[in-house]
Amino acid sequence: MLDEFHPPAVVLPRIRRGLRSRDAQTRANAVQSLGHFGRLHRDIDVESLALLRGALRDRTPLGGCQLRGYADDAADDIGMFVPRHRLPRWLRRRHAGPWRPRRMRR
C-alpha cells in the first residue's frame, strides 16, 4: 500500500535533485526525506548514498547548526532500518543500527 503513494522511482530522483540544490534549506529537507525514505522502504540506492556521504561533510550553517547534523540524523535512520548487508562499509561503521547476532545452532 505504501508504494502506491510513494513509488521509489518517483521519490528518489526528487530527493537526489534536492540534495544537489544550491539552497541549504532545500538540501536539509532532501536529507531528511532520504532518512524517511530509508526508514519507510528499508532500501536505498547507491547514488543517494553517495550524495548523503557528501552531505555528512557539509558545514553550511542552517538555523543554529550545520547541514551535516541533519545528514547525520538521516544516516542514523538509514543505518537503523536498511538491512546491514545493503549498506556500504563507511555507513555501517558509524551509523549502523543495533547489531543482531546470529542464532546459535544447537
Residue 91: name the closest of 58, 33, 48, 37 by CA: 48
pLDDT recorded at residue 95: 81
d(CA 33, CA 66): 17
- Backbone φ and ψ of 64, nearest 5°: 90, -5
Strand duo 65-66 + 61-62: pairing: antiparallel
In contact, 99 and 87? CB cutoff 8 Å: no
**pLDDT per residue over 23-55, tens digit each?**
999 999 999 999 999 999 999 999 999 999 999
pLDDT recorded at residue 1: 46
In contact, 55 and 67? CB cutoff 8 Å: yes
In contact, 71 and 56? CB cutoff 8 Å: yes
Please give the angle made by the CA atoms of 95, 97 and 100, to the nearest 5 degrees. Answer: 140
pLDDT recorded at residue 14: 96
